[in-house]
Structure 1
Amino acid sequence: MTKRVLILVTHLLGAGHLTRATALARAFAQAGHSTTLVSGGMRTSVAMPDDVIFVQLPPVQTRGTNFSALLDDGGRPVTPAFLAERCDYLLETVNRVRPDILITELFPFGRRVLADEFLAVLREAHLMRPRPLVLSSIRDILVAPTKPERVTQAVSRIDEFYDAVLVHGDPAVAPLDMSWPVDDRLRPLLRYTGYVDEAAVTTPQARRAGIIVSGGSSAASLPLYRSALAAAQIVTRTSWRVLVGRGIADEDFRALQRAAPGHVTVERARPDFRQLLAGADVSISQAGYNTSVDILRSGVRAILVPFEAGHETEQRQRAECLQQAGLAQVLPEDRLDARSLADAVTSQLEKQLPPSHSIALDGAHETLRITAELALSRPALLSPPIDWSPLDTAIDRSRDRCHEPVMWWRDDDAVRETPQLDRLLQLANRYKAGLAVAAVPRRVEPSLERALRDEERVSILVHGYTHANHAPTGKKKAEFDAERDLDAMEAEVRTGLRDLGRVFGDRLLRVLVPPWNRIPPALLPRLAGAGYVGLSTFRDRPAPQPAPGLVQINTHIDPIEWHGTRSLGNVPALVAALAGAIDRRASPVGDGEPIGLLTHHLVHDECIWAFCEELLLFLARKQLHFAPVRKLFCDKSGNVVEP
């Protein structure tokens, strides 16, 4: 299915970010998607694909490594009016494109100086229906902020706005946590694509092109060029070719040409760089992302002089990873001079070619595959749009009566980690919602514990024993049926609590959720003796305490139409039921029971997922969040019964 894809990139120093974003845009367009690439950096010579719509924002740039001081294309400091114009143009583009897939390059891990415009786009995207799939696109190695609060801020923005993070690298070479503190909130969202290399595979030629020196597209490579010319005065037995990027001013370029000895050619960077590199004896370069991919693809002997000015660490880390793999030699920038570079060249000329490697270089196509997989999980458009006004009015009316509604969320039938469970957890985390996962003791697999281990907002409840129907033919389904032996049912609930306690420890709440929300009254007095302190079924509870030692907190809204389509039920009726539940609790005779949303992640279709997200979004805008489940039972739960 054709999607509308919008990629947003702003390159500030060099064109590496734009080159990678362009490769992704080309891949999406070639796959038949309507693709728009928005660039907020300086205009460059990077060739735009004919089938990609290119939008140039009023450009910004930086000088050196001071990324907090933005300049316009004339080198003047940007003004608030300039940035406001950029933001307006950007939002106009977003609303015109109405993307199905929105990709922000580097943000929120970087480009903090442009946070206002990125956040404006993200907020606008989250208001769209259907909401686009929102992805962050980052290179293999990042520069983590020195202030811990900035890391926390970046991860919070991922939590709030993003569905996944595309890491364009190979974790076997450079896992993200080598350069960025990856916590348990961020880790499940990472999707490694491999390195993005849109160029055709180049077969190495006979090594006869001598020494190739390259420095990317920024002016930061000028010291490398000068050192290379000095080193060439020492190493004269082979030819040298110095390819100068467009970031070097014409005056400096001509000075390099004048300083070149006869066996050295100095020229501007060429489009056939990959072919030249494949035939080179040795490559000398910095360790930028795209240059490193060129080296990996061509199999050339490589000397890497990583850019390290302004406390930059990205290139040094990448270079050291390649050196550790036996694919390059690192010459630190602070040791760069004619002699050290000449010695490195001489050493490389005497070595065998680098060993073959299995580093993933198909990042563009893997990005397509991952994005398609994620896009399939996006909520469908609910049509007509949901009318939340009855619920909106009920919440306001309740607050006017000094009663703050309390919502909680229970999801049933968990047994193992599944894509549906991952989606449920991601949805809960996005809206910072407390969640109770009701697990079936006899069917729980180890993967469920692993999936929930680091989910701080999740509590586990006991969902029956085997979730088997024991009701006689013709009666409504029930595991705990009134005609069963009471001792047998008590033994099951006791064993189920013990077994789940062994798996989940104190993450388990001693709360029973009977399958099909049915339990015979005769079993209730036995639950406290079996170790339980709570019970949860469906519909308004008849009394706060169904039996001594127990508290009951039920669920009340189930979006599934079980007796019919098994898809989303009547939406106006669901909204009215929620509004009615809030009104009853705000009345003088209301008992204050929290209002429960009941879901079943394993059987949700796209309409049900969409309704759940629409509901969470609406409630979040009303500053009404799903309560931590443990707090609801805090007076009764304590520690889990020891097995």
Structure 2
Amino acid sequence: MVSCLNTYVWVSPHEGVQYSDTRSQRLRIALYSHDTMGLGHMRRNLLIAHALAQSPLHPVILMINGAYEVNTFTMPPGVDCLSLPALLKETNGEYKSRCLDISLQELITLRSNAIHSALEAFEPDVLIVDKVPRGAHSELDPALKSLRSTGRTRCVLGLRDVLDDPATVQSEWSNECNEDAIREYYDAIWVYGDPAVYDLVHEYRLSPDIASKVRYTGYFDQRMRLKLSEGIDPLAGLPPDRLILCLVGGGQDGTHLAEAFAHADLPPATSGIILTGPFMSHEVRQHLRFQAANNPRLRVLDFINEPALLIDRADRIIAMGGYNTMCEVLSFKKRALIVPRVRPRIEQMIRAECMRDLGLIDVLHPDELSPEALAEWMACDLPPMGNCDRIDLNGLERIPFLLCEVIQHAG
């Protein structure tokens, strides 16, 4: 039986579970994310890598990502990355090669072979897969089959709090045989959320044997990222005004929100910053810079790898409703207006409505988005953010203990 490394006894402050570790070789963890739209999956795995690297486990971590932008982020000691040739998910939900002029099937074969070879050579003790049990277009199947045949690696499926509306999830999971894959290959499911906000097991009607593998980690407290901001100063030259920050995730589908914000009237003594994301088109960024050139209180920033200082400094936030963005709003206790994506998935809308119903955010449907609607919200005298202390934000702190639970149950 495999146990956690280095001889010590570790007691969880949350679960009161005691772990002892006698293995001399350092634990090896692999993290996979398919990264077909935006950077949310990769950033979530990167936070997990940081949390594990800073824990008493001190594992060796290999991140396997579908976005080469991962190489711009700060990596903790003991972590390295393998970037796969990139996939692109278009707004209609279709996939294609992002960079290489090859067919989708050729790209999937290339990625699948690279993943299989890397995991075969790395021999991880645990593989943590983000969101898609079989990988994009089933690219993980050969690797999962190989890992299970050796019996060395424990596999964990990590799911964000909301995947999509229940009917869509149930249909997709059935078509992709996800529950069968989970039964065959996965030892645990970690849901990166709080069932008090959205009960994934109940909403998606998971089969009892699948539901028994689920552990809710809690949401990810993003304030640890302030430690990663050393040497980064996105606030240089910013006037001492109130600050409203516009976030559009990776930027691929954030054009309408960014342009509406650029044309909105800012309140007096207030500055605005638009963070465009790396996937926003060059033409849109040029247009936004033109708007900023004619407005001394508006600034446009291209992709920066760690915006935590900006988020911490902001008085209010206007943003799309991705998982990481919502965690940022909760972690830094910011008053926020969320304009969620509704295509090709409505998970952002579902998440935003759940948070709104708890009194934590305001929501504007994208069909109602306009410069005037944003200006009206920015000018309103709003009360402070609702009490988010009732939301579990201990996910990053809890994950090392859940990892030990997975390992110690290995036979």
Normalised TM-score (structure 2) = 0.82
- Map Cα deviations across residues 391-420 of structure 1 (whole Å, 9 max, x no partner): xxxxxxxxxxxxxxxxxxxxxxxxxxxxxx
Asked if the contact 2:321/2:341 (under 8 Å) is kept, the reply is yes
Question: Aligned partners of 1:77 and 1:330: how far apart in 2?
Answer: 40
Question: Aligned partners of 1:318 and 1:217: how far apart in 2?
Answer: 18
- Map Cα deviations across residues 193-221 of structure 1 (whole Å, 9 max, x no partner): 1112454287xxxx953211111113211
Other structure's SS at 2:145 match: helix
Structure 1: gaps spanning 5 or more residues: 380-643
Using the TM superposition, give the Cα deviation of residue 304 of structure 1 relative to its aligned residue in structure 2, in angstroms. Answer: 0.4
Within the candidate set 301, 305, 318, 2:351 is matched to 318
Asked if the contact 2:242/2:315 (under 8 Å) is kept, the reply is yes
Within the candidate set 47, 50, 74, 2:74 is matched to 47
Within the candidate set 295, 311, 317, 1:277 is matched to 311
Question: Aligned partners of 2:289 and 2:202: how far apart in 1?
Answer: 40
- Say yes or no: does 1:244 pair with 2:268: no
Name the Cα RMSD after superposition: 2.4
Structure 2: gaps spanning 5 or more residues: 6-25, 227-239
What corresponds to 1:588 in structure 2?
Answer: none
Using the TM superposition, give the Cα deviation of residue 71 of structure 1 relative to its aligned residue in structure 2, in angstroms. Answer: 1.2
Asked if the contact 2:246/2:318 (under 8 Å) is kept, the reply is yes
Other structure's SS at 2:159 match: strand
- Say yes or no: does 1:211 pair with 2:244: yes
Question: Aligned partners of 2:371 and 2:288: how far apart in 1?
Answer: 15
1:161 and 1:145, CA in 2 relative to 1: closer, same or farther beyond 3 A? Answer: farther
Within the candidate set 130, 148, 154, 1:126 is matched to 148
- Map Cα deviations across residues 52-90 of structure 1 (whole Å, 9 max, x no partner): 121122222223242x4221424x453534332322222
Within the candidate set 37, 52, 63, 1:37 is matched to 63
- Map Cα deviations across residues 607-630 of structure 1 (whole Å, 9 max, x no partner): xxxxxxxxxxxxxxxxxxxxxxxx
- Say yes or no: does 1:256 pair with 2:288: yes
Question: Aligned partners of 1:353 and 1:25: how far apart in 2?
Answer: 30
- Say yes or no: does 1:225 pair with 2:248: no
Asked if the contact 2:194/2:392 (under 8 Å) is kept, the reply is yes
AA matched with 2:338: L
Question: Aligned partners of 1:100 and 1:147: how far apart in 2?
Answer: 30
Identity of paired residues, percent?
24
Using the TM superposition, give the Cα deviation of residue 145 of structure 1 relative to its aligned residue in structure 2, in angstroms. Answer: 6.1
- Say yes or no: does 1:10 pair with 2:43: no
Q: Which piece of structure 1 moves more, 287-296 or 269-278?
A: 269-278
- Map Cα deviations across residues 322-348 of structure 1 (whole Å, 9 max, x no partner): 11111110001111112222222223x
Question: Aligned partners of 2:104 and 2:162: how far apart in 1?
Answer: 31
AA matched with 1:302: A
Other structure's SS at 2:212 match: helix
Other structure's SS at 1:359 match: coil
- Say yes or no: does 1:101 pair with 2:122: no
What corresponds to 1:291 in structure 2?
Answer: 325
Aligned residues: 367
Question: Aligned partners of 2:270 and 2:171: how far apart in 1?
Answer: 52
1:57 and 1:210, CA in 2 relative to 1: closer, same or farther beyond 3 A? Answer: closer
Asked if the contact 2:191/2:215 (under 8 Å) is kept, the reply is yes
1:61 and 1:48, CA in 2 relative to 1: closer, same or farther beyond 3 A? Answer: farther
Asked if the contact 2:96/2:104 (under 8 Å) is kept, the reply is no
Question: Aligned partners of 2:169 and 2:221: how far apart in 1?
Answer: 33
Using the TM superposition, give the Cα deviation of residue 356 of structure 1 relative to its aligned residue in structure 2, in angstroms. Answer: 4.4
What corresponds to 2:360 in structure 1?
Answer: 327
What corresponds to 2:213 in structure 1?
Answer: 189
1:160 and 1:334, CA in 2 relative to 1: closer, same or farther beyond 3 A? Answer: same
Using the TM superposition, give the Cα deviation of residue 237 of structure 1 relative to its aligned residue in structure 2, in angstroms. Answer: 5.0
Other structure's SS at 1:73 match: coil
Asked if the contact 2:340/2:364 (under 8 Å) is kept, the reply is yes
1:332 and 1:24, CA in 2 relative to 1: closer, same or farther beyond 3 A? Answer: same
Normalised TM-score (structure 1) = 0.54
Question: Aligned partners of 2:339 and 2:330: how far apart in 1?
Answer: 16
Query: Which of these two proteins has the greater Rg computed from alpha carbons?
Result: 1
- Say yes or no: does 1:90 pair with 2:115: yes
Asked if the contact 1:300/1:354 (under 8 Å) is kept, the reply is no
Asked if the contact 2:275/2:301 (under 8 Å) is kept, the reply is yes
Within the candidate set 170, 176, 189, 1:165 is matched to 189
Asked if the contact 2:97/2:104 (under 8 Å) is kept, the reply is no
What corresponds to 1:56 in structure 2?
Answer: 83
The answer to which structure, 1 or 2, has the higher relative contact order (CA under 8 A, 6+ apart) is: 2
- What pairs up with 1:513-528 in 2 under 5 angstroms? none
